[in-house]
Amino acid sequence: MPFVYNAWYVIALPDEVIDRPLARTVLGMPLVSFRQTDGAAAVLLDLCPHRFAALSDGSVAGGRLQCPYHGLQFDGGGRCVHNPHGNGARPSTLDVRSFPVVERDDLIWIWAGDAGDADPADIPDFRCRVDPDLGHVGGYFHLGCNDRLLLDNLMDLGHVQYVHSSKMQSDGFARHRRDVVRERRDIHAFITYPSAAPNALTRRMLPDAPELVDGWSDVRWFPVSATLNYVAYAPAGSAKESSRGASGTHILTPESEGATHYFFGSSRNFAIDDPAIDQVLREWQIQALTREDKRVVEQVEARSAYARAHEFTPAMLSCDEAAVRVSREIDRLERVERERASTSHVAPISTTADRSTGLRG
């Protein structure tokens, strides 16, 4: 499957990984997460080396994961530590692949590629999610859409005026300015809406907003599947420092080519303890992501087989610049990885068990 494996991906929110195993498929790999006795999360291939049973249907006791089929037990590093059959032998063929894990910024990240290449310094910075001076809401959705089509959507703010018209339509849309820049490995799309009436969502959250505001939006893509979307408003003509805004977490982890794990959140610098605003944002996240974006992307996906069969190429608009640059960069990373795999004569996904213990950020 056409994925970049050598990258950090979010597999779960910390409170999803508890005293029971959690099954989740990532990049086509069935994985199981559980907590060890020291509280560290562990992630293994969810496939017992014996008969390929689902370890996630088993149980966790004493930080060990027990297979539901024949009772083999595994530690967080994937090593088989108990075999109740025959003489109890535990050859290395009974070990299961484990993945490097880092829990940071209220997210559990795994390195999906060769464990030797995992560097926690490459994990995108989402510290806004745990900033005590901000107000947070967020969660997890499973969407039946391709992650690349969702990423096109996230990097392209031109769709907001139409897909999210009920809450986000702005009379400043025709006058907005856009700039796309690359910063080290990241790609940003900056948009400014000068001196426009606040949109419906802003009016809902900031009833005291003035008649005219300046708006900013900064969508930052971190390779390969995470974006942070900072949106802010200030009275028209005032300093950007006086703005009220929120950093939006939008992290897409491919389950398969046709389904995506979506980790989302909003971290705002206003009304941070106001549960009514929490509720407004929660409803908006459900509406925007699971109804509006989902619908349009699913329909694009439904037409992609026809478009491919007829060799259609999308006719790009000016609003697509950031999405196109991100897409080309991911294509490049995939190509690099494929070529590396073919020259090294090593499959990108090792079938032997990986001994590295989980990392912790």
**Looking at beta carbons only, is 49 or 100 nearer to its own copies?**
49
Q: Is 341 in the site for its own copies (CB under 8 A)?
A: no
- The DSSP output letter for 243 is -
**The tokens of 191 are what?**
């948009």
**Looking at beta carbons only, is 208 or 311 nearer to its own copies?**
311
Answer for which of 19, 121, 132, 302 binds its own copies (CB under 8 A) is 302
Closest distance to its own copies from the beta carbon of 128 (Å): 29
Quote the CA–CA distance of 68 and 72 in Å, as a whole number.
8
Quote the CA–CA distance of 279 and 194 in Å, as a whole number.
28
Helix (H) or strand (E) holding 325, with range, is helix 321-344
Q: Is 141 in the site for its own copies (CB under 8 A)?
A: no
Answer for which of 43, 319, 330, 359 binds its own copies (CB under 8 A) is 319
Answer for which of 65, 67, 151, 168 binds its own copies (CB under 8 A) is 67
Quote the CA–CA distance of 79 and 198 in Å, as a whole number.
57
Instruction: Using CB under 8 A, count the residues that bind its own copies.
Output: 55
Closest distance to its own copies from the beta carbon of 333 (Å): 22
Q: Is 161 in the site for its own copies (CB under 8 A)?
A: yes
Helix (H) or strand (E) holding 163, with range, is helix 160-163
Q: Is 158 in the site for its own copies (CB under 8 A)?
A: yes
Closest distance to its own copies from the beta carbon of 213 (Å): 21
Q: Is 61 in the site for its own copies (CB under 8 A)?
A: no
Q: Is 345 in the site for its own copies (CB under 8 A)?
A: no
Taking CA atoms, 73 is separated from 62, 76, 82, 342, in Å, by: 10, 10, 5, 35
Q: Name every residue whose Cβ is closer than 8 Å to that of residue 195 and which is 6 or more positions away in sequence.
A: 172, 212, 213, 214, 236, 237
**Looking at beta carbons only, is 289 or 319 nearer to its own copies?**
319
**The tokens of 157 are what?**
């703010």
Quote the CA–CA distance of 108 and 310 in Å, as a whole number.
41
Q: Is 306 in the site for its own copies (CB under 8 A)?
A: yes
Pick the piece of the chain touching its own copies (CB under 8 A) from 69-77, 98-106, 134-142, 261-269: 69-77
How wide is the angle at C-alpha 69 spanned by C-alphas 62 and 113, nearest 5°? 70
Taking CA atoms, 6 is separated from 81, 99, 327, 349, 352, in Å, by: 28, 12, 17, 10, 17
Closest distance to its own copies from the beta carbon of 305 (Å): 9
**Looking at beta carbons only, is 161 or 195 nearer to its own copies?**
161
Quote the CA–CA distance of 227 and 334 in Å, as a whole number.
19
**The tokens of 151 are what?**
């990423």
Site string for its own copies, 258-277 (x = CB under 8 A): --------------------
**Looking at beta carbons only, is 85 or 127 nearer to its own copies?**
85
Subset of residues 76 to 115 that bind its own copies, contact rule: CB under 8 A = 83-87, 91, 93-94
**The tokens of 183 are what?**
């910063």
Neighbours of 233 (CB within 10 A): 23
Pick the piece of the chain touching its own copies (CB under 8 A) from 48-56, 104-112, 179-187, 210-218: 48-56
Closest distance to its own copies from the beta carbon of 181 (Å): 18
Residue 69 · residue 56 · CB < 8 Å: no
Exposed / middle / buried, residue 239 (Cβ in 10 Å: 0-12, 13-18, 19+)? exposed
Quote the CA–CA distance of 332 and 23 in Å, as a whole number.
30
Closest distance to its own copies from the beta carbon of 2 (Å): 14
Q: Is 315 in the site for its own copies (CB under 8 A)?
A: yes
Sheet arrangement for strand 101-104: 8-12, 107-111, 101-104
Pick the piece of the chain touching its own copies (CB under 8 A) from 183-191, 259-267, 304-312, 337-345: 304-312
Residues that bind its own copies in the complex, under the rule CB under 8 A? 28-30, 46-47, 49-54, 57, 67-71, 83-87, 91, 93-94, 152, 158-159, 161-163, 173-174, 295-296, 299-300, 302-304, 306-307, 310-312, 314-320, 347, 349, 351
